[in-house]
């Protein structure tokens, strides 16, 4: 199935049929022999290179195959052979395919997202109203955020496909967990954004922004340690740390807006990997 998901990712992006022609090298178009098409094992036998043209095989192929095996195993342990297992499998597999497409081509299939929405609602068959309310709130929230960000940066930060993907995730989590969903996606997105963000600071020699980022991180860590009672500060110090965090955040937002406004090709971190991880955590801990 992981091998099939790779076909869905690559051929949906290229617009080819998912059935014909048989599997081939995407660079030299040589048809693969059976022993070159065994999930993960063929990648290791071929040492990550095409047998014919010797060009490197994208690491996404074995990654998707391994993740698929993990998904099937974890969901079977969680739900057993049941209706929940079937629809959770469809939901998470679709998120994996969409994440792969987003990473490869910054492209999201609306068709797969719509199938995902229907599957998510069916997964929540015991509380369909909660799923539909979550779907509605998710669509409205991401649409308003998209309008807001696009008006600030004067370029498309959140694509139209992301609206369908958020609708898919919102239908899965439902109204009851939708705010946890948004927090989880933003947290993962922030983690994925950090390497790209640091590279942009270095490339632009914008070390003032780097210092503000460090200021924000230190303030956040201190606030977190106080919150979990690792550090016991008095109320005055707590207020000062909180004000530091707010100031650092506002300055960070200001410089980010200025940087991305002036950048013709802003580095956009794909949203779908964060959504895939959020969906996985939701299904695992629900």
Per-residue pLDDT tens for 157-215?
788 888 999 999 999 999 999 999 999 998 998 888 888 778 777 877 778 888 888 89
- pLDDT beyond 60 at 37: yes
Which residues are CB-neighbours of 99 under 8 A, at least 6 positions away?
270, 272, 273, 275, 276
Give the tens place of pLDDT for each residue, 51-95. 778 888 889 999 999 999 999 999 999 999 999 999 999 999 999
Tokens in use for 134?
């979550």
Size (the chain), residues: 286
φ/ψ bin of 242: left (φ > 0), alpha (ψ from -120 to 50), beta (otherwise): alpha
The single residue listed with the structure tokens 């698929």 is: 68
**DSSP single-letter state for residue 21:** S
DSSP assignment string, 192-227: HHHHHHHHHHHHTT-HHHHHHHHHHHHHHHHHHHHH
Give mean pLDDT, residues 26-33. 80
- pLDDT beyond 80 at 45: yes
Per-residue pLDDT, 74: 94
The secondary structure element, H or E, covering residue 18 is: none
Q: What is the pTM of this model?
A: 0.85
Tokens in use for 66?
């391994």
Query: Where exactly are the structural domains of the chain?
Result: 1-67, 81-286
Give the tens place of pLDDT for each residue, 222-259. 888 888 777 777 788 888 989 999 999 999 888 877 77
């Amino acid at each position: 199935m992981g091998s099939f998901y790779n076909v869905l990712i690559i051929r949906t992006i290229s617009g080819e049929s998912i059935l014909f022609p048989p599997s081939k090298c995407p660079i030299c178009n040589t048809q693969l022999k059976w022993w070159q098409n065994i999930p993960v094992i063929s990648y290791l036998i071929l040492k990550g290179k095409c047998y014919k043209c010797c060009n490197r095989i994208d690491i996404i192929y074995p990654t998707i195959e391994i993740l698929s095996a993990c998904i099937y195993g974890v969901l079977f342990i969680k739900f057993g052979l049941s209706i929940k297992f079937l629809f959770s499998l469809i939901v998470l597999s679709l998120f994996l395919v969409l994440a792969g497409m987003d990473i490869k081509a910054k492209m999201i299939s609306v068709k797969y997202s719509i199938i995902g929405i229907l599957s998510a609602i069916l997964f929540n068959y015991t509380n369909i109203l909660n799923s539909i309310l979550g779907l509605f709130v998710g669509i409205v929230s991401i649409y308003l955020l998209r309008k807001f960000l696009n008006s600030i940066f004067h370029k498309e930060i959140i694509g139209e496909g992301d609206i369908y993907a958020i609708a898919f995730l919102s239908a899965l989590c439902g109204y009851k967990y939708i705010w946890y969903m948004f927090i989880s996606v933003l947290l993962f997105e922030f983690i994925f954004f950090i390497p790209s963000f640091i590279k942009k600071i270095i490339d632009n020699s914008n070390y003032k922004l780097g210092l503000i980022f460090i200021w924000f991180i230190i303030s956040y860590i201190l606030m977190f340690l106080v919150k979990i009672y690792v550090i016991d500060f008095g109320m005055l110090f707590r207020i000062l740390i909180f004000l530091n965090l707010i100031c650092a955040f506002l300055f960070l937002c200001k410089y980010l807006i200025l940087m991305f406004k002036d950048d013709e090709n802003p580095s956009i971190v794909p949203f779908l990997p964060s959504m895939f991880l959020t969906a996985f955590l939701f299904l695992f801990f629900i």
